[in-house]
Amino acid sequence: MKLIAGVDIGNSTTEVALAEIDKDNVTRFISSSITETTGTKGTVQNVKGVITGLNKALDNVGKSLVDIDHIRINEAAPVIGDTAMETITETIITESTMIGHNPDTPGGEGLGIGTTISLEDLENNIVEDENYIVIVNSEIDFETAAKLINRYIDNITGAIVQRDEAVLIQNRIDKVIPIVDEVMYIDKIPTGMKSAVEVGPVGKTIKTLSNPYGIANIFSLTPEETRNIIPVAKSLVGNRSAVVIRTPKGDVKEKVIPAGSITIYGNSGERKVVDIDKGAEEIMNVVNSIENVRNIEGETGSNVGGMLNNMKSELSLTTGQSMRDIQIKDILAIDTFLPVTVKGALAGEVAMEKAVGIAAMVQAEKLPMEKIAVELENKLHINTVVAGVEAVMATLGAWTTPGCRLPLAILDLGGGSTDAALLDEKGKVTSTHLAGAGGFITMMIDSELGLNNISLAEDIKRYNLAKVESLFHMRLENGEILFFDEPLEPKLFGRVVVCRDDEFVPIESSHSMERIVEIRRNVKKEVFVNNAVRALKKIAPLGEIRNIPNVVMVGGSALDFEIPEMVMEELSNYNIVAGKGEIRRVEGPRNAVATGLVMSGVGVL
Amino acid sequence: MKKPCIVIKCGTNYSECHLKEIVAGIEEEGVLYTTIDVEENSDPIDLAVKAANMSPVEVGIGLQNNTAVLTVVKLNNRPLFYTDEKYRVIGQNAARYVKGRPFIPM
């Protein structure tokens, strides 16, 4: 009887499978484990994680390191994935033209048009029959403001207030006028200019200032000027309140930022250039039009160019190969909108800017896995070999899933890349690695919600959401209600929270639960459904997906609560049986490579 | 029928300007309130609990000796927030509890 260990060192996790093999080559799997990978995949730092993983698996069955006869580690795919975001539009306000502002509690309602004037100056400068929009700075309290406004109420058509006191002022004046409050930089608002303030009725949004012709009507704009005002109107859509001020030189520009370009080189000498600001669809069309990508380069100075270079240098450090021998093999681009604070804004207004998220995958010749094997053997005095290519081992392991047959394809939905491999009836394995996986989803969620908090974005990706509706209950995203005996923390009250296993994490953004769920699901689909189809096309016999009868999903993202279902739904269109792996009937979608490593060792000892 | 208002109970020793700030906070959020002066020298927590029990929306504020306490019936006499400086914010938070909106950090 021999004890054999298969060890799969991945980008984020290290997995172990332990099996006993008797003299008749009958294999019995007795234990497995999963731990975090220590250091970058393919470096000797991994040894620490491997030993932890081995001990964990051994502890389960009351054995120790000395009992192991043979260790087999994976010939890890030498790929690294990374992501970057390139914003391609920018909204700039010059001379404070617009306040696309949405305070929680504006006052009054309606549309007011008039000349801006500070409330203190009104007394000395008022012109009869003239209409005014008064500016109330934080030095004036609501009672004084209301008194002054009432004195000149016939001339005042609206108000812009610095403090959060719009309702308080409205309740104390004799006429209903639109009042916008919480305007942080109120001193920057120009006076003596024609302006319009609009507040929608409770539960409704503004109608006039979000319409380009509405603005044109108020300010008597020419067709050319109306064209220029579109970014203003666009950014006000959906608000309950807004202010638009027209200054002679004032301007709001939606500028396209030069985001650089990507050059794609094919194996048969093709060379295609695409501008990033053309958007994801165009980029992917160009990438997919080249069958065998040799290398991809990003323009220096752009975010994408910087990312591609960083990835190359990281892999070059790991493998000891020169930068020139390391190539970007694939990219995945997704269009998105990012909430970006408007330059020159007066109340922290945010505009949704167009952006393209890009994931890339870099590939080297080989990772120095031999070094890890030598190091392990020196440390543990156990015979250790690097056994077989990762993709082959993964298909071998996946084949233990009941109900599948050859040719069998696996989709490895990982953290850094989406990998696919096909094992045909003759035992031949074809494999591919594509950019874009779990890490890309996290980045897209983070930027689309404007969180600037990667670990929160990771939580949003991995767990369901709930809306805390009282101190004692919350509504889960599927509509169920969860009650509590003890009161929830006040910081959770009224918020959308992530339901982690151990705690509830509040999301401090104004997005509704439904919107966050929609963003999460869309990003998952864009990444993995797209990639599943792209990857299977590359490995399918004759490039036709329908030639693959069954697909087994493995890897960390196959554990996700909704990704496997999304992929399954898409692949059912091609008449493919697809589902999460059930490795050795007990491991779920985990442990495929480690299992394959053990299986490939049967008969070798 | 009783109006859905927050009840504020003020003890024998409180400052009018603090009360003004509290009700301004509630008013800005668009919620109803009623104030009651009591000839009791009890502490603000007691006042808040009694106020909450009188309130149709089960939210009460007690004000005494420069301290304002916010509680709700469901919390079983425990204060939700208390303050001796941010009177406007505690008023807003009382209203936000009624509306089910996130609190302003105190």
> For residue A228, what are the contacts with CB-CB under 8 A and spacing of at least 6?
A251, A252, A253
What's the whole-number average pLDDT of chain B? 92
pLDDT 10s digits, B29-62: 999 999 998 877 788 999 999 999 999 999 999 9
Convert the pLDDT of each residue in A534-592 to its tens digit: 999 999 998 899 999 999 999 889 999 999 999 999 999 999 999 999 999 999 999 99
SS3 A296: strand
What radius of gyration, in Å, describes the C-alpha atoms of chain A? 31
The strand ranges marked E within A342-452 are 350-363, 383-389, 408-413, 417-423, 429-435
- Asked whether this complex has an ipTM greater than 0.85, the answer is yes
Closest CA of chain A from B28, distance in Å: 5
**Bond before A178 cis per omega within 30 degrees:** no
Q: Is the pLDDT of residue A96 over 60?
A: no
Q: Is the pLDDT of residue A94 over 50?
A: yes
CB A162 within 8 A of CB A138: yes
Q: How far is it, in rounded angstroms, from Cα A321 to Cα A318?
A: 8
Q: Do A167 and B80 touch (CB under 8 A)?
A: no
Are B27 and A104 an interchain contact pair (Cβ–Cβ within 8 Å)?
Answer: no
Residues 6+ apart with CB under 8 A from A535: A411, A418, A419, A420, A432, A434
Q: Is B32 on the interface with A (CB under 8 A)?
A: no
Does the structure show a pLDDT above 70 at A324?
yes
pLDDT tens digits for A106-146?
999 999 999 999 998 988 888 888 999 999 999 999 999 99
- pLDDT value at A95 more than 60: no
Q: How far apart are CA A482 and CA A473, in angstroms?
A: 5
Asked whether residue A194 carries a pLDDT value surpassing 50, the answer given is yes
Rounded to the nearest angstrom, the gap between the alpha carbon of residue B49 and the centroid of all alpha carbons in its chain is 10
Tokens standing for residue A15: 């997995």
Q: Flag if A168 and B96 touch (Cβ within 8 Å).
A: no
Cis check: omega of the bond before A190, within 30 degrees of 0? no
What per-residue confidence (pLDDT) applies to A318?
75
Q: Closest Cα to residue A358, out of A297, A314, A420? A: A297
> Which residue of chain A has the CA closest to B80?
A490
Return the ∠ at Cα A455 (arms to A298 and A591), rounded to 5°: 85
Q: Pick B24's closest partner by Cβ from A168, A494, A506.
A: A168
- Cα–Cα distance, A434 to A279 (Å, whole number): 19
Confidence at residue A237, expressed as pLDDT on a 0 to 100 scale: 84
Q: What is the pLDDT of residue A468?
A: 96
Q: Position of tokens 């409330």?
A: A119
Provide the pLDDT for residue A8: 93
> Which ranges of A212-279 would DSSP assign to H, the alpha helix?
212-219, 223-228, 230-236
Confidence of residue A101 (pLDDT cuts 50, 70, 90): confident
| pTM across the whole model | 0.85
**B13-27 pLDDT per residue, tens:** 889 999 999 999 999
Joined tokens for residue A577: 């049986």
- Please tell me which residue, A103 or A399, carries the higher pLDDT value: A399
Band (A264; pLDDT cuts 50, 70, 90): very high
Q: State how far Cα A318 lies from the chain centre.
A: 27
CA distances, A283 to each of A118, A152, A262, A499, B74 (Å):
51, 59, 8, 36, 56
Cβ proximity of A493 and A502 under 8 Å: no
Distance (Å) from the C-alpha of residue A493 to the closest C-alpha of chain B?
5
β-bridge mates for residue A356, sequence order = A86, A335
Q: Do B103 and A494 touch (CB under 8 A)?
A: yes
Query: Over pLDDT 70: what percentage of chain A?
Result: 96
d(CA A43, CA A318): 7
Whether A369 and A56 have beta carbons less than 8 Å apart is answered as no
Identify all chain A residues contacting B103, using CB atoms and an 8 Å cutoff.
Answer: 490-491, 493-494
Q: Would you give the DSSP letter of residue A343?
A: B
Nearest to A593 by CA among A80, A79, A72: A72
Task: Work out the minimum CA distance from A496 to partner chain B, whole angstroms.
Answer: 10
Residue A280 tokens, joined: 């994801």
Side chain identity at residue A569, one-letter code: E
- Contact (CB, 8 A) for A454 and A442: yes
Determine the length of chain B. Answer: 106
Report the alpha-carbon distance of residue A445 to residue A454 in Å, rounded.
9
User: Cβ distance A441 to A527 under 8 Å?
Assistant: yes
**Pair of tokens at residue A251:** 């301007």
Q: At what angle do helices A563-572 and A530-539 cross, to 10 degrees?
A: 50
Average pLDDT of B87-97? 96
Alpha carbon separation from A535 to A286, A328, A357, A578 (Å, rounded) = 16, 16, 19, 14
What pLDDT shows up at residue A445? 95
Minimal CA separation from B104 to chain A, in Å: 9
Distance from C-alpha of A362 to C-alpha of A434, rounded to nearest angstrom:
9
Gyration radius of chain B's alpha carbons: 12
Say what angle helices A513-524 and A563-572 make with each other, to 10 degrees.
Answer: 60
Judged by DSSP in three states, A504 sits in strand
Q: Which of A70-84, A86-100, A215-229, A442-456 has the lowest mean pLDDT?
A: A86-100
For the segment A95-113, the average pLDDT, to the nearest whole number, is 79
* Number of residues written out for chain A: 605
> Which of A423, A315, A331 has its CA nearest to residue A78?
A315
Q: How far apart are CA A423 and CA A400, in angstroms?
A: 13
**pLDDT higher at A483 or A309:** A483
Contacts of B24 in chain A (CB under 8 A): 142, 165, 168
pLDDT for the residue A88: 77
Contact call for A168 and B29, based on CB within 8 A: no
Which pLDDT tens digit goes with each residue over A448-495?
998 989 999 999 999 999 999 999 999 999 999 999 999 999 999 999
Q: Are residues B59 and B7 in contact, defined by beta-carbon separation less than 8 angstroms?
A: yes
Residue among B27, B81, B101 whose CB faces A494 most closely: B101
What's the confidence (pLDDT) of residue A249?
66
Query: What residue type is B69 in one-letter code?
Result: V
Spatial distance between the Cα atoms of A587 and A554, rounded to a whole number of angstroms: 10
